Amino acid sequence: MTTVTPTSGAGSHCVMGFDFGVKRVGVAVGETSIGIAHAIVTIHAESNAEKMNAIDVLVAEWKPSVLVVGEATHENPHESAQENPDAPKAAPHPVALLAHKFGNRLKERHRLPVEYINEFLSSSEASGNLAAQGLKGRAQKARLDAAAAQVILQSYFDSRQTALNIKANNAA
């Protein structure tokens, strides 16, 4: 896991991302100016109050301007929409409802905007990233949720950059 410290340069804002789970919450941070996410910690706590208290400490330390929460889905919505745009929408993933409740709590506690991003296969991608670093099987467990938060936050940064590129191309 990369060691990072809280700093924000002029014109840059810290963004904090979360991989919400019932048992654990992975946390990552990144700066808008460079658009690179870093895994920082996995919060292991029994109660929601303990999880939120741990997050309060991180928010106070990092001072993010936006919070990003991964939203669980059953499938990749872009692929299913391309295959059959008229198909009925699937029922929301049960964890997605809990993630929204978590996001609403974050918004209320910290008075910060909360954005949701599709986390489809983020844990699988995080596992592959950890395996590429030499961590396999059980050795990944302690880092997997934070690494998944990193994937979620990186996806957020990448989608923002893509939107900016499209806007610039359309203006040209």
Q: What is the pLDDT of residues 115-134, one digit of tens each?
A: 998 876 666 665 566 566 76
Cα–Cα distance, 162 to 166 (Å, whole number): 6
Question: Looking at residue 54, what is its pLDDT?
Answer: 97
Highest mean pLDDT among 45-49, 83-87, 112-116: 112-116
Strand spans (E) along 73-160? 114-118
Per-residue pLDDT band for 160 (boundaries 50, 70, 90) equals confident
Question: Looking at residue 81, what is its pLDDT?
Answer: 47
Question: Looking at residue 18, what is its pLDDT?
Answer: 97
Q: Is the pLDDT of residue 2 over 50?
A: no
Cα–Cα distance, 116 to 25 (Å, whole number): 15
By CB atoms closer than 10 A (0-12, 13-18, 19+), residue 37 is buried
pLDDT top residue among 32 and 160 = 32
Q: Is the pLDDT of residue 87 over 60?
A: no
- Whole-number Cα distances in Å, 1 to 27, 38, 71, 83, 135: 12, 8, 23, 38, 11
Give percent of the chain above pLDDT 90.
Answer: 44
Q: Is the pLDDT of residue 139 over 90?
A: no
Cα–Cα distance, 95 to 160 (Å, whole number): 25
Q: In degrees rounded to 5, what are phi and psi of residue 98?
A: -70, -35
Q: Which of 7-16, 64-73, 98-107 has the lowest mean pLDDT?
A: 7-16
The chain-wide mean pLDDT, for the chain, equals 79
Q: Is the pLDDT of residue 3 over 60?
A: no
Per-residue pLDDT band for 146 (boundaries 50, 70, 90) equals confident
